[in-house]
Amino acid sequence: MTKDNMIQVENLTKMFGDFTAVNNISFEVGKGEVFGFLGANGAGKTTAMKMLIGISEPSHGNATVAGYNVLTQAEQVKKNIGYMSQRFSLYNDLTIKENIVFFGGIYGLSSADIKEKSQAMINELGLHDMADSLVGSLPLGWKQKVAFSVALLHNPKIVFLDEPTGGVDPITRRQFWEMIYKQANRGVTIFVTTHYMDEAEYCDRVSIMVAGKIEALDTPKNLKHQFQVDSMNQVFLKLARNIE
């Protein structure tokens, strides 16, 4: 593995009984890259991601994340990654501030550190008025922005985002992607799954999973060229249809 690869995946497989959810996938993601992980529902995206973040054990194969093996050094991996799940991952019955304090606390940040970071985060998101209101009372778009910021609290090298913009309006989605780019420019590696093909165009590289396998992996430009179409949407449809 080269020094610059933050994620290195070799022949990763996950089976549930006879069903192969993830079938022998291999790829790598470089430092500071925005990596789009695409696929239809049930193609195995989330399962693959769960293996990379150390909460699901691979059946075969190997993966290294932030320089640590997901099988043998899962706890080291967890220290170096941020994760924002498909389902909303903050506590609705705690305020924004309390959520920050809690997650900062369990990542082992000092209380001075937590104070400073939560202030910075509230400033950046412009949440002064809402810092003490319950997360459950926020609109979805706001929640997702806060969740993303909380996932970055402990300065992870990689952030995994599982459909972070599902159900979010186009303006907030644009703002969300601006946040993603900001982090990528600071050298944070972004691993993101999405169903929005316009978002796929924003990614540095895109992989498309179909039935547990990665069927395409390249920059959006090259993919469009390879499939001789104008948009990622058509690339996706062509791939998904061909396999079926």
Partner 1 sequence: MNIIRYIIQKEFKQIFRNKAMLPIIFVLPLIQLIILSNAATFEVKNIKFAFVDNDKTSLSRELVEKFEASTYFNVVAQFPSAKQAGMAMLEGNVDVILEIPSYFERQLLKNEKADLSVIINAIDGAAAGVENVYINQIVQQFNKKALVELSLFNRSGNQPMNIETIPSFWYNETLNYKTFMVPGILVLLVTMITLFLSGMNIVREKEIGTLEQINVTPIKKHQFIIGKLFPFLVLGMVLLTVGLIISKLLFHIPIVGSITLMYLYTIIYILVILGMGLFISNFTDTQQQAMFIAWFFMVIFILMSGLFTPIESMPQWAQLLTEFNPIKYFVQVMRMVMLKGAGLSDIYPQVLKTLVFAIVMNALAVMSYKKVS
User: Going residue by residue from 216 to 235, which x/- string records binding to partner 1, judged by CB under 8 A?
Assistant: --------------------
- Single out the residue of 18, 16, 17 nearest to residue 50, CA to CA: 16
By CB under 8 A, the residues from 47 to 76 that bind partner 1 are: 50, 53-57, 74-76
| Residue whose CB is less far from partner 1, 102 or 227 | 102
Which residue, 48 or 101, has its beta carbon nearer to partner 1? 101
Q: Is 87 in the site for partner 1 (CB under 8 A)?
A: yes
Q: Which of 87, 241 has the CB closer to partner 1?
A: 87
Interatomic CA distance for residues 101 and 153, integer angstroms: 10
Per-residue x/- marks for partner 1, 21-50, CB under 8 A?
Answer: -----------------------------x
Distance CA 232, CA 64 (A): 29
- Segment interacting with partner 1, rule: CB under 8 A, options 18-26, 105-113, 120-128, 230-238: 105-113
Size of the site for partner 1 (CB under 8 A): 30
The yes or no reply on residue 78 touching partner 1 (CB under 8 A) is yes
Q: Give me the DSSP letters along 37-61.
A: EEE-TTSSHHHHHHHHTTSS--SEE
Strands 60-65 and 5-16: antiparallel
The verdict on 102 binding partner 1 (CB under 8 A) reads: yes
Here the tokens at position 122 are: 């509230």
Q: How far is the CB of 50 from partner 1 (least distance, A)?
A: 8
The yes or no reply on residue 90 touching partner 1 (CB under 8 A) is yes
Rank residues 58 and 220 by Cβ distance to partner 1 and give the closer one: 58
Give the three-state DSSP class for 244: coil
Residue-wise burial string across 51-68, b where 16 or more C-beta atoms lie within 10 A, e elsewhere: bbbbebebeebebbbbeb
Alpha helices (H) in 68-110, listed in sequence order: 74-79, 96-106
What is the separation, in whole angstroms, between the first and last Cα of the chain? Answer: 34
By CB under 8 A, residue 238 contacts partner 1: no
Contact 87, 61 (CB under 8 A): no
- Among 101, 121, 208, 217, which residue interacts with partner 1 (rule: CB under 8 A)? 101
Q: Write out the residues near partner 1 by the rule CB under 8 A.
A: 50, 53-57, 74-76, 78-79, 81, 83, 85, 87-94, 98, 101-103, 105-108
